[in-house]
Structure formats: structure tokens, C-alpha cells
């Protein structure tokens, strides 16, 4: 499992190998440093370092993910934090989707960062998840989450 603590970023942490991840719609290509990706995600490490098709080709397709959500993941991957959401309207969906992706990829550290950000925003705005958000969360997370 990926470490649950923040990391110090250095050029050494990037490595020199690049993998390509294609995300729907139209399979947008995201070239990413293999080392930083695999160091933070057991899912990607097994795929890209094993004898799977992804490991042989150094490419992966994520047909069910959103490019915007994946960009948020990449921001966290390289910067260690998430983009800021400053919308005055109530819209936690981008954060929820980032959590769903992190949970699916079993990246506990990112799950914790997202939950902390949601809690901070809700506390600042004195909001709680509404019925629709609660249903979305329930349907999109694994049991016991």
C-alpha cells in the first residue's frame, strides 16, 4: 500500500521512465513519471512492473475515469496537494470523484487528503452532505469505506 504520509518532492523521486495513461473520453493521454506514480500507488506499480500488458507496453487505459478527475490526481501526485475549489456554489462532486478514484486505486494518503479538504470546506461553510451527495457516496464507494 502507498505510504499514508506526505512526501518531500525531489527530482530523484521522478525517475526518468515515462508511462502513458489514456483516460476517457477519447482516451486523452497523460504521460507520467513511472517512479512517482508507482511509488504512490500499488495498483500502478503492479500493472507497470509486472508481466501484464500494461507492464510490457508501459501504457494503461482508464475507460471509466474523467480526465478532469485524473488531472486532479496528477496535481496531487506531483505537488502533494489538490487544486483549490473556490466556487461559491455548493459543488463537492469534483472532490467526491477524486476520492472515488483514490479509493479505487487504493491510495489511502490521497483519500485522507480529499476527506480533509471536504471537511475543511464544509466546516467553513457550515454545510453537510445533502441527500443526493450521500446517495452518490454510498453508491460509489466500497463497503466499509
Whole-number Å distance between alpha carbons of 56 and 52: 6
DSSP letter (8 states) at residue 25: T
Residue whose entry in the numeric block shows the C-alpha cell 480529499: 114
pLDDT per position as a tens digit, 69-85: 999 999 999 988 888 76
- Is the whole model's pTM more than 0.85, yes or no? no
Residue 59 has pLDDT above 50, yes or no: yes
CB atoms within 10 A of CB 67: 17
DSSP states of 27-58 as a string? TEEEEEEHHHHHHH-HHHHHHHHSSSHHHHHT
87: left (phi over 0), alpha (psi -120 to 50) or beta: beta
Amino acid at each position: 500500500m502507498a505510504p499514508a504520509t506526505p512526501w518531500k518532492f525531489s527530482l530523484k523521486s521522478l525517475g526518468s521512465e515515462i508511462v502513458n495513461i489514456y483516460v476517457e473520453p477519447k482516451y486523452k493521454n497523460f504521460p507520467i513519471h513511472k517512479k512517482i506514480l508507482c511509488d504512490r500507488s500499488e495498483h500502478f506499480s503492479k500493472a507497470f512492473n509486472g508481466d501484464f500488458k500494461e507492464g510490457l507496453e508501459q501504457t494503461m487505459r482508464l475507460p471509466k475515469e474523467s480526465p478532469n478527475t485524473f488531472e486532479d490526481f496528477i496535481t496531487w501526485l506531483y505537488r502533494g496537494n489538490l487544486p483549490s475549489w473556490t466556487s461559491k456554489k455548493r459543488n463537492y462532486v469534483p472532490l467526491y470523484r477524486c476520492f472515488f478514484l483514490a479509493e479505487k486505486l487504493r491510495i489511502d494518503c490521497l483519500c485522507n487528503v480529499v476527506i480533509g479538504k471536504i471537511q475543511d470546506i464544509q466546516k467553513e461553510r457550515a454545510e453537510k452532505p445533502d441527500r443526493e451527495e450521500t446517495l452518490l457516496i454510498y453508491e460509489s464507494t466500497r463497503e466499509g469505506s
